[in-house]
Amino acid sequence: MCKPDIHIRYPSHNIKMEEPNDKHKETELTQEELEFQHIRDVEILNPSTMWKITKNNFHKWACDKYYPKLIEHLNKYLIGFDEWQRTWFMDSEKIISLGINNCIEPKGDSKNPYKYIIQVQRYDSNQLTISEQNIDGEVKEGGPYFTEHYKKVDSFISYFDWINRKAIDPSPKVENNDLLYYYQFSAPYSPDVGVKILHNFELLKMGGIIVPLNKISMLNTKQVEYANLSNTIYKGPMPTGGHPMTISSSFCYNLIFDNCDLSIVTFYKCRMLNLKIIKCNIRQWNFIDCEISGEIKDTELTRVNFIGGNVDIVIKDCKLYEVEGNSSDYNLDFSDCLKALKISYGNQGDDKKSIEYYIKEREYKRRKEAAFLKSDLNYVWHNLRNLQKRERTISKLKSIGNKISKFSFGWLNYHYWGYGRKPNFVLRNSIYTILIFSVLYFVELTNWDILQMNISNLSEAFSTSVSSFSTLGFFTENAKNINKHFIILESLIGALNIGAFIGSLANQKY
């Protein structure tokens, strides 16, 4: 007989089992502390050093040596910034810890302009974050180690929302609540490239180099705001150990990714002109409200999102897996991105996604025209009585007429058959047509008399509508009591729908 296995459980307060992983973490922390000792008093680090040091050490150094200078500059050159800080108790340290963008960027919700400071509680940590919704008391389930409890600590109105509500321009050097709108370049195509914003504030220079890996051949990812990464090259495999990298409100001109294998990267409100991604494997990237131009070539893209912004990108000879493009801002130009995705999906034989982006592209253009139409109507409304602007107002009225006609045709084109790519739209509209005419025939067969309405008349009205729609003719004697103009009209609509349905089916292969 085999003896059963015997397991002895020692009380934790008597014997502490040391995990090998704990030793490794302790060694890493010691090395990180030694690394920070070497940089803590250095006012300016060169780009290579910034990329080599750990994410935590870079953040601590930037919070001590760089971000306070930026906050001081904002205080000096943004109108009312110091008053906003006093009003909402937002000292420099608090702004830096919560994120500069989080604190100053507008929420864009006129009904509730407040942002909320939320404490996120996990089993072993507490941290503060910014939420646009009040999620006080909510719980996000994730198991014993990842469940998050949310607690509201405070609320405030962002600087740009606060100053806009006062109807004051924050600065002559700021437009559309964008601190990067006016800028100055020096030596733009050299490693010594420099960028200044808002009355000559020099952005932190992290570019002009081939990004180095650390001692164990991994990329030390970064979380940075308001930096200059222009003329930077990412080359070769760049493992990150699953650590995300976030670049916000930064200049990334002439950024090159060459034969890169890189995952979990977010670019937020960055200027990325002349971007080149060549022969790479990129996964879980997000481009949010960025200004982008350039090309992606011979690359495999997996779970990549283009969200808003001004995107003019060429995607050539690439493989796309769950690559999405979405925009809700019609003041910028996003149609080129949708067109590029449409062509790329079509080239790799994914007709379903290609048709989806064909429709998205057409819908985006139609909604953009609607936004311009709304702007023109507002202009006319406010200036119709202004004699000095009357001539221009009349010209606007003429263009409004053209835009209304174009928008109406586009609206009908989409909802009728999805720009010729949605046969299910035609089928849906056909069913609605048959039902509407059935009701008309039903009330005619009963002479609009409620007492004469019965199931027999309803059945006859429906069968007459179906036969008329399909242009087959009448099936019943009572059909002669129905207005012939209705039957002729339904027959014409039916013939049109049948043709449109067949045509849209033929267009499924884009």
pLDDT of residue 7: 32
**Inside any domain, residue 36:** no
pLDDT of residue 414: 74
Q: What beta strand segments (E) does 208-362 contain?
A: 223-225, 227-228, 233-237, 245-248, 256-268, 271-278, 281-297, 300-302, 305-316, 319-321, 324-326
**Inside any domain, residue 32:** no
Closest to 444 measured CA to CA, from 504, 486, 490: 486
69 pLDDT higher than 80: yes
Rounded CA-CA distance 170/173 in Å is 8
Mapping DSSP to helix (H, G, I), strand (E, B) and coil, where does residue 469 land? helix
DSSP 154-221: EEEE-HHHHHHHTT--S-TT-BTTBTTSSEEEESTTSTT-EEEETTTEEPEE--SSBPPP-TTS----
Mapping DSSP to helix (H, G, I), strand (E, B) and coil, where does residue 268 land? strand
**Inside any domain, residue 323:** yes
Pick the last residue of a domain from 417, 439, 458: 417
**Inside any domain, residue 178:** no
CB of 107 closer than 8 Å to CB of 113: yes
Residues 487, 409 share a domain: no
- What string of H, E and C letters represents the secondary structure of 251-266? ECCCCEEEEEEEEEEE
Confidence of residue 118 (pLDDT cuts 50, 70, 90): very high
Residues 154, 78 share a domain: yes
**Inside any domain, residue 302:** yes
How large is the greatest C-alpha to C-alpha distance in the chain, in angstroms? 108
Q: What residue type is assigned to position 310 of the chain?
A: N
What average pLDDT does this structure show over 113-131?
A: 91
CB of 113 closer than 8 Å to CB of 161: yes
What average pLDDT does this structure show over 248-274?
A: 95
Least confident piece of the model among 54-58, 171-175, 494-498: 494-498
pLDDT of residue 305: 96
Rounded CA-CA distance 313/351 in Å is 21
Confidence of residue 343 (pLDDT cuts 50, 70, 90): very high
Residues 447, 404 share a domain: no
Give strand pairing partners of 131. 116
Confidence of residue 474 (pLDDT cuts 50, 70, 90): low
380 pLDDT higher than 90: no
pLDDT of residue 388: 52
**Inside any domain, residue 25:** no
Highest average pLDDT, of 54-58, 454-458, 499-503, comes from: 54-58
Mapping DSSP to helix (H, G, I), strand (E, B) and coil, where does residue 320 land? strand
pLDDT in tens, 165-184: 999 999 999 988 899 989 99
Pick the last residue of a domain from 394, 417, 440: 417
**Inside any domain, residue 134:** yes
**Signed CA dihedral, 44, 48, 51, 53: sign only:** negative
pLDDT of residue 11: 33
Least confident piece of the model among 22-31, 40-49, 57-66, 447-456: 447-456
**Inside any domain, residue 427:** yes
Residues 210, 340 share a domain: yes
Pick the last residue of a domain from 386, 417, 448: 417
Q: Count of domains in the chain?
A: 4
> How would you classify the pairing of strands 126-131 and 114-121?
antiparallel
pLDDT of residue 15: 34
Burial zone of 139 (CB within 10 Å; 0-12 exposed, 13-18 middle, 19+ buried): exposed
Confidence of residue 293 (pLDDT cuts 50, 70, 90): very high
> How would you classify the pairing of strands 194-197 and 183-186?
antiparallel
Residues 72, 158 share a domain: yes
Residues 389, 275 share a domain: no
436 pLDDT higher than 50: yes
510 pLDDT higher than 60: no
Which run of H or E residues covers position 62?
A: helix 55-65
Closest to 466 measured CA to CA, from 447, 479, 449: 479
What average pLDDT does this structure show over 346-353?
A: 89
- Helix then strand then coil, in percent of the chain rounded to 5, is 45, 25, 35
Residues 207, 320 share a domain: yes
Residues 376, 458 share a domain: no
pLDDT of residue 12: 35
Residues 342, 393 share a domain: no
Residues 209, 102 share a domain: no
422 pLDDT higher than 90: no
1 pLDDT higher than 50: no
- For residue 294, report the phi and psi dihedrals to the nearest 5 degrees: 140, -155
Confidence of residue 470 (pLDDT cuts 50, 70, 90): confident
pLDDT in tens, 183-235: 998 888 888 999 999 989 999 999 999 999 998 899 999 999 999 999 999 99
Residues 287, 221 share a domain: yes
Residues 453, 403 share a domain: no
Cα separations in angstroms, 183 against 57, 175, 179, 200: 29, 12, 9, 8
Q: What beta strand segments (E) does 360-459 contain?
A: none
Rounded CA-CA distance 51/49 in Å is 5
Give the residue numbers spanning the domain of 98: 67-165
Q: Return the percentage of the chain with pLDDT > 70, whole number.
A: 83
Can you tell me which residue has the tokens 């089993």? 123
Least confident piece of the model among 88-92, 296-300, 329-333: 329-333
Least confident piece of the model among 4-13, 68-77, 444-453: 4-13
